[in-house]
Each structure stands twice: as C-alpha cells, then as structure tokens.
Chains A and B, each alone.
Chain A
C-alpha cells in the first residue's frame, strides 16, 4: 500500500510562525484528497487544528 506523510505543519499557509495547534484531524483519502489536503490545512491551522493526511487508496 502506498503511504504518504503530510508535509511539515505550518507551511501550507505560508507562515513561518508555528501555530498553536490544540486539536487534531486525520484525513484519509486518495488522489482527490491529495489535491485538497494542503488547502484544508491552510484553512484549519490558523484555528488551532492540526491536519495530517494519509493516502488510503483503495479500501483494502
């Protein structure tokens, strides 16, 4: 199974300041979520939500 880890936290919205992340979210998906996961991170990390992403691919 193909695995991929999300990139460093805090980079997606162009900030060099480490956000104070108090809640966590895991996204699992395929190449569709690969497209939007960095945008989701940029939307949620300013609110203190850490977003990580894993490529699940198929259901297996």
Chain B
C-alpha cells in the first residue's frame, strides 16, 4: 500500500475520503520460512508511514477499516484438501490470534493519528462470522460482501456529511 500511494493520489487531486485497509496479506504466516509476510513491527512501521503520507499529501477524510476475521480451522481444512488434490501447495496460513494482534496495533496507530475507524472486524463478528466467511476461511460470502459494502458506504457517507 505505502508504495502505491503516490501513484494513486495525484498532487492536487485529493479525494474527499480515503477508506483504507491492509493486514490480511501482512499477517500470513509462512510455515517453511517460519515468518510472517510482514512481521508485526514491520507492519506497524509501514502503516505509520502510510498514515503520515496520507495526512501530509492529501486533504482527505481518512477512514481505516479493521482486518476482517478469519476462521483458521476452516481455512486449514480448505487449503489442505486442495493441496491433497494436487491443486496447489500450501505455503501459508492465517491465524485468528494474529489478526487480533495486527488489528490492535493498527488501532493504536489510527487513534493516535486521529483517523476514523470502520470496525469491519466487529461488524462481521456481531453479525455471524460463521455465516459470513466463505469456505476458504478468509473471504466473504455474498451476504458478507453486502454487509461490508453497506458498512463502508455508511462510513463514507458519515465522513461526507451526507
């Protein structure tokens, strides 16, 4: 994300609202290497960099979206089954506790920076993680996608005052 910001936001053409998220990629744990795609310390440093860049280079109202839940048992079963069928190699997993840690760190950064938070993680949990997360344990069902879209649209409307 950080590397793309200057390309996505042209000088003098700030959007009114920027609604942003990252973390599902960063928190992937690579079993063979024994490391995360972005260990938590790297993630927080990069996220601070992104927030600093956005606040320095745009006039946008910023909204951070929390990382949506994963269901580790479900994703392990899904990807292991696909690997057993020879469809792919399983190189990484995601864990619920890691998502919580990454979300906690991100929240601290956003609160310190005065960035609004759209807690999509909580919205999914309150509605029904079991029902809204797809068979792969990470992505949303159609119902989950609709729920998130409405939450994002509401958050943006709130920032625009409409």
Residues of A within 8 A of B (CB): 1, 3, 23-33, 35-37, 39-40, 43-44, 47, 49, 52, 54, 56-60
Contacts and interface: CB of A to CB of B under 8 A. Distances in A.
B68 interface: yes
B120 to A, nearest CB: 8
A24 B145 CA distance: 22
Interface in B36-63: 37-38, 42-43, 46-47, 50, 60
A22 B19 CA distance: 17
Q: How large is the interface on B (under 10, 10 to 19, 20 to 34, 35 or more residues)?
A: 35 or more
B148 A36 contact: yes
Contacts of B145: 35-36, 39
Given A28-B20, A32-B21, 18 more contacts: A24-B17, A25-B16, A25-B156, A26-B15, A28-B1, A30-B25, A32-B24, A35-B148, A36-B146, A36-B148, A36-B149, A43-B153, A47-B157, A47-B162, A49-B157, A52-B15, A56-B22, A59-B43
Contacts of B152: 27, 33, 36, 40
Interface of B: 1-4, 7-9, 15-26, 37-38, 42-43, 46-47, 50, 60, 65, 68, 139-140, 145-146, 148-150, 152-153, 156-157, 160, 162
B60 A26 contact: yes
A54 B16 contact: no
Contact of B149 (A1, A28, A40, A57): A40
Nearest to A59: B46
B16 A58 contact: no
A13 B50 CA distance: 32
